[in-house]
Structure 1
Amino acid sequence: MTNFPTSGVSRRSLLKGAGYGAAALGAVPLLSACGGLKGSSSSSSDALRIGYVSPQTGPLASFASADNFVVSQVQAAVAKGMKIGGKKRRLEIVVKDTQSNSNRATEVTRQLINEGVDLIVGSSTPDTTNPVADQCEANGVPNVTTIAPWEAWFHGRKGKSGEGFKYTTLFFFGMQQFADCFMPMWDRAGVSSKDVAALWPNDTDANAFRNGLSPMMRKKGWTPVDGGAYEDGATDFTAQITKFKKSGAELFTCTPIPPDFQTFWKQAQQQGFHPKLATVAKVMLFPTEAEALGRLSKNIATDIWWSPFHPYASALDGTTAKQLADRYAAKTGKQWTQALGSIYSLFEVAIQAFKDADDPKDKDEVAKNLREMKIRCMSGDLDFTTGPEPGIALQHPVGGQWRPGKDFPWDVVIVDNTPNQAVPLGGDLEPTRP
C-alpha cells in the first residue's frame, strides 16, 4: 500500500493574496472591478510567489466561484510562516483571470512568468490548464493544474508517453474514471436500449471523450450515438435532438460548456427527448448551474470528485472536507462547490513542493518534487508517480444526482460509490425522467 505523507505545514507560513490591485498583507482577497482577486504583488528575497490562473469571468466562471474563499482559507492556514530552504519564508499569491479564453490564459501566464513567480497553479478545463502548462513548460516554471481530463491535458499538449513533461503536472482523472463512474449507473438504470446519446462538441475536452470513452463504451456493450462535432456557442440543437430521438437512446451523456448544455437541455425537453438517465460531464458540477436550470435539474447525474461527504482533510491544518464546505457556506452564504477541494489542493501541492526542496528558488528541483509528489490532502491521496503518465495523479469520482434541497435550492446526493467506496452513499439512483 502506498504511503501518503501529509505536508506537515500546520499553519506555518504567511500567504499574501495578490492580483490586479493592492490590499493589506494577510487581508481576505476581494473581487476587483476587472474581476480578479485583489491583493499585494510586492515581493522580497525571502518570499515564494505562486501564480494562480483561473476563469473568474466568462462562460466558465462557475468553476472559479470559490476562488476568493479558498485563497483566504489558505492564507489563514499558513498565517504563521514556515521554514523552507533554511530560512523562514512567506508566500505570495498572484491571481490572474483568463476570462474563460485560452488566448487570455496564455497571456496572463506570460505575465506571471515575466513577473518572476516561482511556481504557477491553474484550474478548470483544458481551456485554462493546457495553455498555462504549455507556457510553464516552455519557460521552465514549475506548474500543477487540475479539473481537466488527463487525456485532454496530456495528449492535447502532445505529451510523449512514458516521459511526460519536465515542469508541468496535473491531478484529476480521465476516461477510465469517467467510465468507472458512469457505467455502473447505466447498468442500474433499467434501460432496454444499449444506445447512449452523446453530445460532444468540437473541442479538446469533448474530443478526448469521443476518442477515449467511445471505445470503452463499445467494449462494455454500449453504443455511443454521437450528435456530431458542433462548435461551442451553438444556439440550435435540433439536429442532435432529432438524431438522439431517432436512435431510441434512453441514456444520455455530454461534455459541452455549461451555457450550451443549458440551451440543449431546455430544447430537448421542448422537442420531446427525455432520456431515462442523464450522466453528464463538465456541466452540472456546481450549484449555480442547477439553479439556472431549475426544475429541469432534477436527477441529472454527474461525476463528483470532491464533496463534504468525502473523508478527506487538509494537509495544511487538518480542516476536513465538511468543515471547509461549512465554512464556505457560513462566510459566503453560498452552497459548497466541488472546485473548493481542487483549488485548495493546488496550494497544498505547491507548498509541499517548496518544502521538499533544499532551494525552493531552484525551479528544476521544485518541478522534480512535483513529479515525485505523494501527498494526503483535501483532495485525498494524490500520487504523481503512479498515474497513467509521469506527473499525473488520478482521482476517482463517484456518481451524484441533483435533487431539491433543504438549505439550498438543489443538493447533490451520492447515489453510486462503485469507484470509491470510502465515500458514503446518500440515497438511491433515480431516473432523470420519471
Structure 2
Amino acid sequence: MSDASVGGMDRRSFLSAVGLGTAAIGGAPLLSACGGLKGTGTSSSDVLKIGYVSPQTGPLAGFATADNFVVKQIQEALRNGFTSGGKKRTLEIVVKDTQSNPNRATEVTRQLINSDKVDLIVGSSTPDTTNPVADQCEANGIPNVTTIAPWEAWFHGRGGKPGEGFKYTTLFFFGMQEFADCFFPMWERMDVSNKNVAALWPNDTDANAFRQGLGPMMEKSGYTVVDGGAYQDGATDFTAQIAKFKESDAELFTCTPIPPDFQTFWKQAQQQGFRPKLATVAKVMLFPSEAEALGRLANNIATDFWWSPAHPYTSTLDGKSAKQLADDFAAATGKQWTQALGSVYSLFEIAIQAFKDASDPKDRDEVASKLRGMKINCMSGNLDFTAGPQPGIAIQHPVGGQWRKGERFPWDVVIVDNTPNKDVPVGGELKPTDAR
C-alpha cells in the first residue's frame, strides 16, 4: 500500500473528509490549518509546519482510526492562527503513513525533514512508529514528541542514557509500573485458585519490554509468570502456547501481541479449551474494531485505558472536554471513540504549546528545550515532561476497563478499576472474562 491510501480511505476520500479539495494532492502539503499554504500571501517565516507520522494502513491501522478527524479538529481550532514569537502564525500539517512498517517510518520521517522542511514532528502508536521517527528526529535536530509506546521500549530501545535522555525527542505515555498499577489490582480482586499468569509475549520491542520489566514485577508481587515463549509476529498457530498455559492451570492471562495475532490466539484458545478467568491485555483490544472482530469472545476482556469520554480532561486549544471530543468524533464519522483520539489530539496541543512558549518557533533547539521542560494540563491530562522517570518523558496513569455489549455501538468500555487514577470514575463492576 502507498500514501495514496490513508486510514483505509483513498486519497480523494481522505481529503474530502478533512475538508480539503483534491488540489492538495501531490507535492503540496497534504493538510493546512487556517489556509496557511505557501503562496497565499503568508511569508514562509509565518508558517509553522508539523509533520505527523502514524500507521494509517497495515496491521496497526486501528491505532490511526481517529487521525483524519483529529487533524480537522486542529485545523478548526487554529483557523485564525496563533501567536508565537511575537508574530501571528499559521499552521500546516503534513501527514505520512508508515504502513505499519518501521523501515517506512524511517523513510517518511526523512521525507518530512528533507523535502517538506517541517519545524516539528509528532508521531503515534507502538515502538514500530515512535522509535524510528524519534531516531531520525534526534539525528537531524528536529523537535519531536510521540505517544502510545511504553516508555521503556522507547527509551531503552533507542539507547537512552539514564538521567540524560535525548535532546530533541520526547514522549508521553506510561510504562511497566503503570501497567502493573492497572492490572495487578484487577488480578487481586479475582477469585483464582493460584497466582499463575499466562503471558503471551512475542519477540519484539514492545513485548520484550514487558518480559524484562513487567515479568519481574509480577514475580515480586507473588505471581508466577508462565511465558508462552518469544514467538515471531505473524504466527498463525498458537497450539504450543495454549497447551503450556492449560498445563499450568493459569486462570489469569496477559499479553502484548500485535492485534491480528491476538485475534488468532484468542479464537484458538477458546477452541482448545483455554478460558482464563480474567484476561488483562496490552497493545490489543484498545479499540472497538477489535472487539467487533471477536464478537462474543470480546466479552469482559480487560485492558488499560489512558483516555476515554469518562476522563475529566479538556483541550488547551478550545476548552472542549474529553466527552465532547468523543461525541464530536461519533457525530462526524459515525464511528465509536478510540482512546488514540485523545492521545493524537494532545500531540498537537503539546506541539502548539512548544511553539507558543518559544521566543523563536523556528529555533529548533529552543523548541526542543520547551518540549523537554513542558508541564501542560491538556486533553491527555496533567503531563509533566520534567518529572521522569527519565528526562523528556511524561507519565500517564491508565485505569482498568472491560469490553461489554454496547447500546449505541456493538461494544463499549466500562471502567471497572480506577486504583491508579481516582480522577476517572468507575462505571461498573469487574467481571470474570470467562463469564458468558
Name the residue aligned to 1:266.
267
For the structure 1 residues 26 and 243, does the alpha-carbon distance in structure 2 shift closer, same or farther, using more than 3 Å as the test?
Answer: closer
Q: Show CA shifts across 1:366-403 (max 9, x none).
A: 00000000000000000000010000000000000000
Q: CA deviation at 1:21?
A: 8.2
Name the residue aligned to 1:294.
295
Partner Cα distance (2:354, 2:91) in 1: 13
- 8 Å CA contact 2:278–2:301 kept in 1: the answer is yes
Q: Show CA shifts across 1:150-198 (max 9, x none).
A: 0000000010000000000000000000000000000001111110000
Structure 2 gap segments, 5+ residues each? 1-9, 39-43
- 8 Å CA contact 1:300–1:401 kept in 2: the answer is yes
- 8 Å CA contact 1:29–1:68 kept in 2: the answer is no
Q: CA deviation at 1:417?
A: 0.2
- 8 Å CA contact 1:195–1:250 kept in 2: the answer is yes
Partner Cα distance (1:278, 1:332) in 2: 31
- 8 Å CA contact 1:20–1:95 kept in 2: the answer is no
Q: CA RMSD in A?
A: 2.1
Counting only pairs closer than 5 Å after superposition, residues 378-397 of structure 1 correspond to structure 2 as 378-397=379-398
- 8 Å CA contact 1:415–1:425 kept in 2: the answer is yes
Name the residue aligned to 2:139.
138
For the structure 1 residues 136 and 399, does the alpha-carbon distance in structure 2 shift closer, same or farther, using more than 3 Å as the test?
Answer: same
Name the residue aligned to 1:149.
150
Name the residue aligned to 2:343.
342
Equivalent in 20, 31, 40 of residue 39 of structure 1: 31
Q: CA deviation at 1:20?
A: 7.5
Name the residue aligned to 1:11.
none
For the structure 1 residues 23 and 307, does the alpha-carbon distance in structure 2 shift closer, same or farther, using more than 3 Å as the test?
Answer: closer
Name the residue aligned to 2:19.
28
Partner Cα distance (2:250, 2:295) in 1: 24
Counting only pairs closer than 5 Å after superposition, residues 343-358 of structure 1 correspond to structure 2 as 343-358=344-359
Letter in 2 for 1:28: G
Q: CA deviation at 1:87?
A: 1.1
2:87 paired with 1:95? no
Q: Show CA shifts across 1:73-110 (max 9, x none).
A: 11111111111112110010000000000000000000
Q: Is the partner of 2:404 in helix, strand or coil?
A: strand
Name the residue aligned to 2:200.
199
Q: CA deviation at 1:305?
A: 0.2
Letter in 2 for 1:211: Q
Q: Is the partner of 2:146 in helix, strand or coil?
A: strand
2:249 paired with 1:248? yes
- 8 Å CA contact 2:15–2:21 kept in 1: the answer is no
Partner Cα distance (1:149, 1:23) in 2: 30
Q: Is the partner of 2:91 in helix, strand or coil?
A: strand
2:55 paired with 1:63? no
Q: Is the partner of 1:279 in helix, strand or coil?
A: strand
Name the residue aligned to 1:49.
49
Partner Cα distance (1:188, 1:84) in 2: 50
Name the residue aligned to 1:323.
324
- 8 Å CA contact 1:22–1:38 kept in 2: the answer is no
Q: Is the partner of 2:183 in helix, strand or coil?
A: helix
For the structure 1 residues 23 and 335, does the alpha-carbon distance in structure 2 shift closer, same or farther, using more than 3 Å as the test?
Answer: closer
Q: CA deviation at 1:45?
A: 2.3
Letter in 2 for 1:95: V
- 8 Å CA contact 2:14–2:68 kept in 1: the answer is no
Partner Cα distance (1:170, 1:73) in 2: 22
Partner Cα distance (1:324, 1:143) in 2: 24
For the structure 1 residues 194 and 22, does the alpha-carbon distance in structure 2 shift closer, same or farther, using more than 3 Å as the test?
Answer: closer
Letter in 1 for 2:221: K
Q: Is the partner of 1:224 in helix, strand or coil?
A: strand
Name the residue aligned to 1:12.
none
Structure 1 gap segments, 5+ residues each? 1-18
Name the residue aligned to 2:5.
none
Q: Is the partner of 1:311 in helix, strand or coil?
A: coil
- 8 Å CA contact 1:200–1:206 kept in 2: the answer is yes
Q: Is the partner of 1:269 in helix, strand or coil?
A: helix
Q: Is the partner of 1:45 in helix, strand or coil?
A: helix
- 8 Å CA contact 2:17–2:68 kept in 1: the answer is no
Report the identity percentage.
77
Partner Cα distance (2:17, 2:426) in 1: 39
Partner Cα distance (1:26, 1:162) in 2: 44
For the structure 1 residues 405 and 30, does the alpha-carbon distance in structure 2 shift closer, same or farther, using more than 3 Å as the test?
Answer: farther
Partner Cα distance (2:196, 2:17) in 1: 54
For the structure 1 residues 22 and 285, does the alpha-carbon distance in structure 2 shift closer, same or farther, using more than 3 Å as the test?
Answer: closer
Partner Cα distance (2:21, 2:223) in 1: 48
Partner Cα distance (2:12, 2:85) in 1: 30
Partner Cα distance (1:24, 1:206) in 2: 36
- 8 Å CA contact 1:29–1:71 kept in 2: the answer is no
Partner Cα distance (1:414, 1:25) in 2: 35
Partner Cα distance (1:161, 1:152) in 2: 14
Partner Cα distance (1:172, 1:341) in 2: 12
For these two proteins, the number of residue pairs brought into alignment is 414
Name the residue aligned to 1:227.
228
- 8 Å CA contact 1:46–1:89 kept in 2: the answer is yes
Partner Cα distance (1:395, 1:26) in 2: 31
- Farther-moved stretch of structure 1 (22-31 vs 239-248): 22-31
Name the residue aligned to 1:107.
107
Q: CA deviation at 1:39?
A: 3.0
Q: Show CA shifts across 1:321-344 (max 9, x none).
A: 000000000110000000000000
- 8 Å CA contact 1:49–1:93 kept in 2: the answer is yes
TM-score by length of 1: 0.92
Q: Show CA shifts across 1:227-267 (max 9, x none).
A: 00000000000000000000010000000000000000000
For the structure 1 residues 225 and 26, does the alpha-carbon distance in structure 2 shift closer, same or farther, using more than 3 Å as the test?
Answer: closer
Q: CA deviation at 1:27?
A: 5.7
